[in-house]
Copies of this chain bind each other. A is one copy, B any other.
């Protein structure tokens, strides 16, 4: 079950990508599990099929899922792809801006560290 927040500033397709990754981390979705078809999911979460399609394409690019022609879409085996380095660099850039904002708000780094720990724990349990 994926929930979309239309009020979020994040595009629908990104919200879908996040939700699926989250369920992988929480072991709700396991390698080999079949995902609903584009149309099916579009019907379930009431979103345009194009939007689902876009999410699936990006998930495939990132190696999270695999599409088997005519068979469907499946959660992929976890594996280090060359893309991961790229994504990691992107994350690092993002953190840079994040820290700028945090420092400007005078948030001590200990608070950030604590927030991260909280998030890590929550994401693993869920």
Q: Which of A's residues lie within 8 Å of B, judged by CB? A: 6-7, 9-12, 18, 21-22, 24-25, 64, 66, 68-69, 71, 82-88, 91-92, 94-105, 107, 109, 112-113, 115-117, 119-120, 123-124
Contacts and interface: CB of A to CB of B under 8 A. Distances in A.
7 contacts: A18-B100, A84-B105, A91-B102, A91-B105, A98-B98, A100-B123, A112-B116
Contacts of A91: 98, 101-102, 105, 107
B101 A87 contact: yes
A interface: dominant SS: helix
Nearest to A97: B18
B68 A104 contact: no
Given A11-B69, A85-B82, A109-B117, A124 B98 contact: no
A119 B99 contact: yes
Nearest to A21: B104
Given A21-B100, A82-B83, A107 B88 contact: yes
Contact of A98 (B12, B69, B95): B95
